[in-house]
């Protein structure tokens, strides 16, 4: 562990922002204020935070339908994200993308994606752009355990391997593809081994352990930036809530859910570790908690009050010119 105090605070802030954001979204959804439907990232925050800390604005990520945490960790503006989730004017996609399509090209965020497994080929394209131009840019795709079965993911792994692209495949095994357990749907049972078969390093790490993800990611990014090719990481972290908010999760036992809350909280684990090591004080993190709570309170209120898109917006942005 060689993180500075600033890096530790940065990592904690990225995780806490994701938690505060999605817990608030959960309550707002239950209260009926959020349009459409949302997929919460709670329990997996360490993965996005630790991964994106290694990336620059000029590096790219491809995301999933469960993308709020990825956006926040990559630096998307929280206020503009909330405007987008509420489908309002001024949202990151001007209200035309919604929760499952939040994107921000200025932050290298190539979009949350509502088609499971669609983002890895796109992220590979961003890696290919860096490789073609000879920069040290990298790209990363977040891939759920469900997406790990899609042909597009295998195609992306293979192309990245063949061309030795600066690419990182970040599998997030949260235990379930919608309502179906990974124990059932992952043939062979080992996601990391699948990626490994393409000739790239593919460690499996505890996705609730910020430091484990951070270390694995450091190696993958160093390999990518130095032109040695792609890597994969399988980060295992149980999803706290259902596939979408409102999913009653009849497929999970009470015992499992209790255990996830007991042992699967990346923020709690982080705090225990940094306190035990005397790297940070409680007060350091409490201050961040307070600040983010107030920020999100304020931005949710702004989003709710913001104007809807004009009807004319239906017709714009299909083409640049037609």
Partner 1 sequence: MAKKTVREAINETLAQEMRRDPRVIVLGEDVAGGKGGTSDTEEAAGGVFGLTAGLYKEFGGRRVIDTPITESAIIGAAGGAALAGMRPVAELMFIDFIGVCLDQIMNQIAKFRYMFGGKATTPVTIRTMIGAGMGAGPQHSGALYPMLTMVPGLKVVVPSNAYDAKGLLATAIRDDDPVIFCEHKALYTEACEVPDEDYTIPFGQANITREGEHVTLVAFSRMVLFANQVADRLAREGISVEVIDPRTTSPLDEDAIFDSVDKTGRLVVVDESNPMCSMASEVASLVACEAFECLRAPIAKVTAPHTPVPAHPELEKEYVPSVAKIESAVRRVLLDSDVKAAATG
Residue ranges in contact with partner 1 by CB under 8 A: 60, 62, 91-97, 101, 103-105, 110-111, 113, 115, 118, 120-134, 137, 139, 151-152, 155-156, 158-159, 162-163, 316-322
Are the C-beta atoms of residues 60 and 126 closer than 8 Å to each other? yes
Minimal distance, residue 7 CB to partner 1, in Å = 27
Whole-Å CA distances, 229 to 54, 159, 207, 301, 313: 16, 11, 23, 45, 42
Minimal distance, residue 96 CB to partner 1, in Å = 5
**Of the two residues 107 and 299, which places its CB atom closer to partner 1 in the complex?**
107
Minimal distance, residue 160 CB to partner 1, in Å = 9
Minimal distance, residue 109 CB to partner 1, in Å = 10
Compute φ and ψ for 138, nearest 5 degrees: -135, 165
Collapsed DSSP state (helix, strand, coil) of residue 142: strand
Token duo for residue 214: 């951070």
**Of the two residues 67 and 264, which places its CB atom closer to partner 1 in the complex?**
67
What is the C-alpha separation between 90 and 181, in angstroms, rounded? 38
Minimal distance, residue 230 CB to partner 1, in Å = 13
What is the C-alpha separation between 190 and 232, in angstroms, rounded? 13
Q: Which of 103, 62, 70, 66 is nearest to 84 (CA)?
A: 103
Torsion sign across C-alpha atoms 44, 175, 112, 52: positive
Minimal distance, residue 305 CB to partner 1, in Å = 20
**Of the two residues 254 and 315, which places its CB atom closer to partner 1 in the complex?**
315
**Of the two residues 64 and 208, which places its CB atom closer to partner 1 in the complex?**
64
**Of the two residues 11 and 62, which places its CB atom closer to partner 1 in the complex?**
62
**Of the two residues 150 and 249, which places its CB atom closer to partner 1 in the complex?**
150
Please list the residues that pair with 169 across neighbouring strands: 141, 232
Q: Tokens 């042992």: give the residue.
A: 263
């Amino acid at each position: 562990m060689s993180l500075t105090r600033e890096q530790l605070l940065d990592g904690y802030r990225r995780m806490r922002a994701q938690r505060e954001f999605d817990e608030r979204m959960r309550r707002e959804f239950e209260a009926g204020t959020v349009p459409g439907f949302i997929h919460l990232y709670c329990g997996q925050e360490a993965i996005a935070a630790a991964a994106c800390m290694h990336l620059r604005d000029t590096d790219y990520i491809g995301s999933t339908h469960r993308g709020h945490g990825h956006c926040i960790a990559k630096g998307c503006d929280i206020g503009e994200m909330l405007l987008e989730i509420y489908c309002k004017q001024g949202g990151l996609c001007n209200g035309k993308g919604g929760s499952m399509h939040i994107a921000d090209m200025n932050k290298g965020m190539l979009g949350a994606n509502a088609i499971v497994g669609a983002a890895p080929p796109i992220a590979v394209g961003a890696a290919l752009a860096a490789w073609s131009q000879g920069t040290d840019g990298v790209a990363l795709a977040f891939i759920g355990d469900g997406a790990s079965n899609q042909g597009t993911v295998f195609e992306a792994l293979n192309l990245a391997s063949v061309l030795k692209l600066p690419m990182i495949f970040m599998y997030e095994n949260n235990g379930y593809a919608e309502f179906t357990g990974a124990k059932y749907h992952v043939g062979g049972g080992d996601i990391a081994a699948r990626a490994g078969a393409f000739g790239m390093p593919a460690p499996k790490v505890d996705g609730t352990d910020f430091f484990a993800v951070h270390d694995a990611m450091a190696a993958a990014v160093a390999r990518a930036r130095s032109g040695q090719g792609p890597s994969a990481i399988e980060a295992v972290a149980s999803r706290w809530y259902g596939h979408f908010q409102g999913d009653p999760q009849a497929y999970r036992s009470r015992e499992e859910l209790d255990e996830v809350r007991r042992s699967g909280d990346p923020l709690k684990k982080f705090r225990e570790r940094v306190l035990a090591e005397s790297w940070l004080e409680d007060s350091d993190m409490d201050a961040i908690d307070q600040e983010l709570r107030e920020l999100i309170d304020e931005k949710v209120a702004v989003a709710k009050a913001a104007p809807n898109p004009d009807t004319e917006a239906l017709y714009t942005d299909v083409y640049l010119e037609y």
